[in-house]
């Protein structure tokens, strides 16, 4: 069976979309997708403070949206199939129309995580009969039960603890980065491509030393999931670290791992930074849950 849908997961929200839809805009709580060069789907989400009101959320989430003719937004009766697919949410449909464009969508409220989601489908007549649209609605989830948050955009995917909050992201051609933080640790995930060009002049260690940046002498050759890798392990904290803490100085400990996936011509990397000593298997927990998504 041909693969016709792909999964997207970003900052707590996850859903499936047709494989032909491409991510056109990414922000921490805002995504838009294009279909063959024209806009197809826009989705925004935000946690709620206080009582939830569909009208207030619609106003808040469409505020400052230059292309959105807010004055002409009107209520829209959601189709029965949509209501059934979105049964776990309290939802309200809306629509707007101009001479050249139209949008049909809904504001959703999840009573479990108290989060509001607003989405709109452009060119509804083209997509309404599309079974993928119903699949998008059925798979739309704004929280997970397992205490993790999934990240699945472009060609990277990761499953990270819920406590890690998005701090920074970058999706430049050839260089994708995701930085997350919590109270004790800073995590950076990297994806570089094309590896053949990046490693043409020097080996993986020299590349990692330049990209992270770390000293090349600190990097040791290793392997991860049968791929060649270089690792900079944190220093032993038994003696000097305790002494520094006693003096009131708490230097950040760093642990970095970079590996080369030859089969897909890409390089992946993880960098951990913490003021507390790492658990022995902490890097393995992150590296096992970070991989390429080539579907």
| Cβ 154 to other proteins shortest distance, Å | 7
| Cβ 266 to other proteins shortest distance, Å | 8
Neighbours of 59 (CB within 10 A): 13
| 126 Cβ contact partners less than 8 Å away, ≥ 6 residues apart | none
The position carrying tokens 């309290």 is 90
Cβ closer to other proteins: 82 or 290? 290
| Cβ 135 to other proteins shortest distance, Å | 22
Taking a C-beta distance cutoff of 8 angstroms, is the pair 142, 113 a contact?
yes
Cβ closer to other proteins: 82 or 192? 192
Cβ closer to other proteins: 134 or 206? 206
Cβ closer to other proteins: 54 or 266? 266
The two counts, helices (H) then strands (E), for the chain are: 8, 19
Cβ closer to other proteins: 123 or 182? 123
Write out the residues near other proteins by the rule CB under 8 A: 22-23, 37, 154-155, 173-174, 193-194, 196-197, 200-201, 264-266
The position carrying tokens 């990297």 is 190
Q: How far apart are the first and last CA of the chain?
A: 13
Kind and range of the H or E run holding 244: helix 240-246
Residue 136, judged by CB atoms within 10 A of its CB (0-12, 13-18, 19+), counts as buried
Cβ closer to other proteins: 102 or 264? 264
Q: How far apart are CA 93 and CA 285, in angstroms?
A: 41
Residue 287: both structure tokens together: 């590296």
| Cβ 193 to other proteins shortest distance, Å | 6
| Cβ 54 to other proteins shortest distance, Å | 34
Taking a C-beta distance cutoff of 8 angstroms, is the pair 204, 273 a contact?
no
Residue 223: both structure tokens together: 């392997």
| Cβ 157 to other proteins shortest distance, Å | 14
């Amino acid at each position: 069976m041909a693969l016709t849908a792909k999964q997207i997961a970003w900052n707590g929200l996850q859903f499936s979309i047709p494989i032909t839809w491409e991510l056109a805009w990414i922000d921490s709580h805002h995504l838009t997708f294009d279909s063959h060069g024209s806009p197809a789907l826009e989705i925004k989400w935000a946690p709620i403070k206080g009582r939830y009101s569909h009208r207030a959320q619609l106003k808040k989430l469409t505020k400052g949206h230059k292309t959105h003719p807010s004055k002409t937004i009107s209520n829209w009766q959601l189709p029965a199939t949509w209501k059934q697919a979105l049964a776990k949410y309290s939802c309200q449909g809306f629509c707007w129309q101009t001479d050249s464009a139209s949008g049909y969508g809904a504001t959703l409220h999840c009573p479990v995580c108290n989060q509001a989601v607003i989405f709109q489908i452009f060119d509804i007549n083209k997509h309404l009969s599309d079974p993928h649209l119903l699949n998008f609605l059925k798979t739309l989830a704004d929280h997970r039960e397992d205490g993790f948050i999934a990240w699945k955009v472009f060609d990277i995917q990761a499953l990270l603890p819920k406590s890690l909050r998005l701090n920074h992201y970058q999706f430049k051609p050839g260089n994708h980065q995701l930085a997350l933080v919590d109270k004790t640790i800073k995590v950076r995930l990297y994806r570089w491509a094309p590896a053949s060009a990046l490693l043409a002049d020097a080996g993986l260690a020299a590349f990692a030393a330049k990209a992270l940046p770390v000293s090349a002498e600190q990097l040791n050759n290793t392997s991860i999931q049968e791929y060649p890798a270089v690792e900079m392990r944190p220093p032993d904290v038994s003696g000097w670290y305790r002494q520094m803490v006693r003096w009131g100085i708490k230097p950040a400990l760093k642990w970095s791992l970079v590996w080369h996936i030859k089969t897909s011509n890409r390089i992946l990397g993880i960098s951990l930074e913490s003021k507390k000593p790492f658990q022995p298997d902490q890097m393995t927990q992150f590296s096992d849950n970070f991989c390429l998504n080539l579907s």
